[in-house]
Structures are given as C-alpha cells and as structure tokens.
Amino acid sequence: MVKGIHKSLYIILSLFIGLFIASSFFIRAKYSYFVYGDTPVLEKQQLGLFILVIVLMLAISAALYTISLKLNRFSRRIVIPAVLAVSFAIQLAIIFLFPRLPTDDSETVLNLALDMLYRSDYSSFETGGYLHMFPFNFSTVLYLKTLLYLFPDNYLTIKIFNILFTLLTTLMIYLLYKELNDKSREHDYGVLVLGATYLPALFMSNFIYNDVIATAFLTSALYFAVKFMKRKSLKDILFAAILLAIGNYFRSIGVIVLIAVLLSLLLGLRKLGVRKTLAALFITGVLFNVPGWTQNAALQAAGVVDESVNTNSAPVYMWLNMGINLETFGFWDNRESYTIYQQDADYNKAASTELFKEEISNKLADASTGDLVNMYYKKLIWTWTEGTYQMERYGLGNDSSSGNRGRMVGMVMDRYSYTNAATDLFKGDSGYRSGLLWMLYVLNLLMYGGILVRLIGSIRAGRYGETPLVLIILGFIGFYLLWEIKARYIFPVYPLLIVFSYMGFKDVYDYFAGRKG
C-alpha cells in the first residue's frame, strides 16, 4: 500500500511536469515589467527560436557537466569552498553592477525597520497600518532592524547577508543531493556548480525581502529531515524542526514543507519505527509555531499590541479571492481585494472574511466551467513555466529613466542607486535583457525535462527516495492553484528543482555515455 502511495505521487507529479513541458511548445509565459507592467503574459510560442535556444542550452549544460566531472579528482575541502567563493564574487558583482533600490513591500519593510530602530515607532501595528494588515512581515522587519543595528546602515549590508543566505542554500542543495544519492561513487560537483551559478538565485540577492532567507532555512530543514529519515538520529529531526520553524516565520508557506515532512515520516513508519516516528512528529509539530507565539508574547509584553497581531489582520480569504480572476488568472487584482478589507470592512478581519466568501461565491457562480478551467490552466502554466521567478524586476531591476512604456499609472517605478555600462546594456527591453530571459526560461523547461526523466525512471525501477521533494513540489502546485500568484512565490522550490533535475540529467548523460549509474 505504501509503495502504491509513493508511485501515485510520482505519477501525479509526472503528469504536471509533462503538462508544463508540452504546453511550452505552444505557449510562452512571460513577465516583463518594463513592457507589460506588473501583469502576467501568455503569448504564442516562437517555436523556431524556442528550439534554437533549447539546443544552445543543452550544449552549454553538457559542456559544464563534462567540466564538472573533471573536478572529481579534487577533495571536497578544496572544491566546495572554491565554488562558493566564485558564487560569492559573481553575486557581489551583480549587486554593484545592478544597484537596485527597494520598491513596493521591499521598501515598506525597510522603512518600518528604520522607524523602529531610530524612532522606536511601532505605530504600523495600529489599525490601518501595514503590520496591522500584514503582521507576518514583522519577521522581515525585525530581521532588518537587527541587522542594521549590528552592522553599517546601508543597502550593501543587507545584500551581502542575502548573498550569504544564497550560499547556504547552495551548500544545502549539494548536501541534500548527496544525502539522496549516498551510493554515488562520485563527488557530483555538477549539482554544486549548478546551484552556485543559477542566475535567478544570484540576482535575487539584490532583493531586500524574505524570499532568500526563507529559502535557505526551508532547504536546510528539508536536508536534515531527509537525513533523519535515512539515519534515524533525533538530533537531525530537532535541527530540521528548528530550521523549519524559522523558515516558516519568514514565509508562511513553510506549512507546505511541514505537511510534506510529516507525511514522509508517516510513509516511512515501518523503516523508522513507531517510537522514533512519533517522537519526530511531536518535535516537528510542537516547535513549528514557537517563533509566532514568542513574537506575540513579546509584542504584548512590550505594550505594542493589546491582543494577537492576527486578530484583525487581512484574512486568508483575501488572497484566495485574488486567486480567482479571469482577466489576470489569479495575479494582482489592482487593489480590488484590498479595498474590500480596508474600506468595506474597515480593517475588520471577521467582517472582511464574510465579504470575501460572498465575493468568491459570486465569482464562481458567474463564471462558466470552461472559464474556470481556462483560468486555472493559465494560472498553472504561467506560474510554473515563467522560469525566472520574476528576476527581471526583483533582481535585475530597470531604472525609471528608461521610460514607463507598459506600466500602469501609479505603479512604483524601479530605481537604481546609480547607472553604469551594465544597467545601460540591460535597460528597457534591450536584446541583452530579453536574451537573458529567454535563456532562463528555456533552462527552467530543461530542468523539468530532467525531472520527468528521473520520475519515470524511478517509477520503472520502483525507487522512491525523493518522495519528500515530490510532496513539497505537489504542495506548492496545489497551493498556488488556489492562492494569488506570482512566479516569485515559488522561489523556495528552486533548490528542489535543481536537485531533482540534476538527477535526471545525470541519468541521461550516463546512459548515452555508457556509464553505469
């Protein structure tokens, strides 16, 4: 029965991955803030160019993999620090070449951190304030406040710490891969190199928000959880639980990882034993909400709030309501949902919840079955095949002086601290920018190809060691079918996609090279 569950999960993920790949031969998912504004775009695929870039990226990937094999003769003590050092240098160059200033929520959380640091101003928790509406972002505010208290107060400090978190994620990608492939006779440095040079992650170090931090903690938590399932040391599950709790504190989608870990523990009950499984479930479940409970207790003890910060925060139904939108298939609804919470319900959670339920019911009633199927298909395809995690805006940036073609009135303009030859080269909708986006778009699809190869091979061989990864990816797919979407929201999954796709790529390479895996 358990093996049947594993197989079913692998088959379901294979179907989704197959859908992503097949759809991409007909539809191109795009996000270009300069050209289209803050909106998702699906257009007819340019098949000739698409195939040409596929061939180019396959050639580059094969060459890099061949080079990585030559590193096998060197010790981990040499290669790992060297690769991470190169990755650090690349990211440092990126933040100097593209000195993107914070905008939108990024700018808001930074300003709140500065207000609390220098003026002890916590008024944002009051009715109508940003943290009254979005208390989950206090974790980022607190992090920034602490960071700028301990270190020099400038953007460079924050971005360098982003780089360090990205390096931690890269290391965890490698360790997770090795934990899942502990019988490999090679060092498998290729997956380390891929993680260290994955451009969407490198550019996102430029983004002052919670994505990079949460991804590092959640990936680390998954590594220790997988390590526990293989080695049965309660120390590992304790580390996993702590890291998972911290990761969820920064981004609440940690609950998806929690559910995946708990299900994986239950599926491994026979191997782990009842006592260790129950102990692991207890430790993971109890520690998960400790950061949130601690935060509430501290804020109330300090007199900042009189009750839980979640009492009148924006309800989950607000994002569910945004997620049902025929025009933008679940993307930002231009403040329509905000208006319901802020104006119609006057920042009252209970009242707005009822209004959102009514709005959701009306949307579902007014839309035909065909409309809904079409919307959810577009939502799924755009989110998972856009391929850059909206790096074009959040990491690369685009100076407002380049123009405002395609931007909606009132949108916050992107800005740089200064411009240089690099920003000029990639400004607007230049060929360099669109070429980079094409390469990353195709790389994402090639990674799906590697994942599909691995999934099918695993099903045929009856091996299901990657089940925790499968559960997390499926959890993200299901969650963002219902929730408001941004391609950036699935950024925490990129380490898993790298690990999984590298397995598949290695299987293909070994097959054609006549090597035994």
Residue 347: inside a domain, yes or no? no
Q: What is the pLDDT of residue 509?
A: 80
Residue 237: inside a domain, yes or no? yes
- Number of structural domains (the chain) is 1
Residue 27 phi/psi, 5-degree rounding, is -125, 135
Q: What is the pLDDT of residue 405?
A: 42
pTM (predicted TM-score): 0.95
Q: What is the pLDDT of residue 413?
A: 58
Name the CA dihedral angle for 232, 233, 238, 240, rounded to a multiple of 10 degrees.
-60
Bridge partners (DSSP) of residue 29 are 42
Q: What percent of the chain has pLDDT over 70?
A: 97
Per-residue model confidence as pLDDT tens digits over 76-105: 999 999 999 999 999 999 999 999 999 899
Residue 247 — very low, low, confident or very high, per pLDDT cuts 50/70/90? very high
Residue 10: inside a domain, yes or no? yes
Average pLDDT over residues 271-300: 96
Residue 310: inside a domain, yes or no? yes
Structure tokens at 17: 């991955």
Nearest Cα neighbor of 238 from 274, 286, 169 is 286
State CA 367 to chain mean position distance: 30
Residue 180: inside a domain, yes or no? yes
**Identity of residue 186:** E
Residue 73: inside a domain, yes or no? yes
The residue range of the domain holding 8 is 1-314+387-398+412-513
Residue 417: inside a domain, yes or no? yes
Per-residue model confidence as pLDDT tens digits over 185-218: 789 999 999 999 999 999 999 999 999 999 999 9
Residue 514 — very low, low, confident or very high, per pLDDT cuts 50/70/90? low
Residue 368: inside a domain, yes or no? no
Separation between Cα atoms, residue 366 and residue 360, nearest integer Å: 10
> 3-state class of 445 per DSSP?
helix
Q: What is the pLDDT of residue 409?
A: 34
Asked if pLDDT for residue 294 goes beyond 60, the answer is yes
Structure tokens at 219: 């990936």
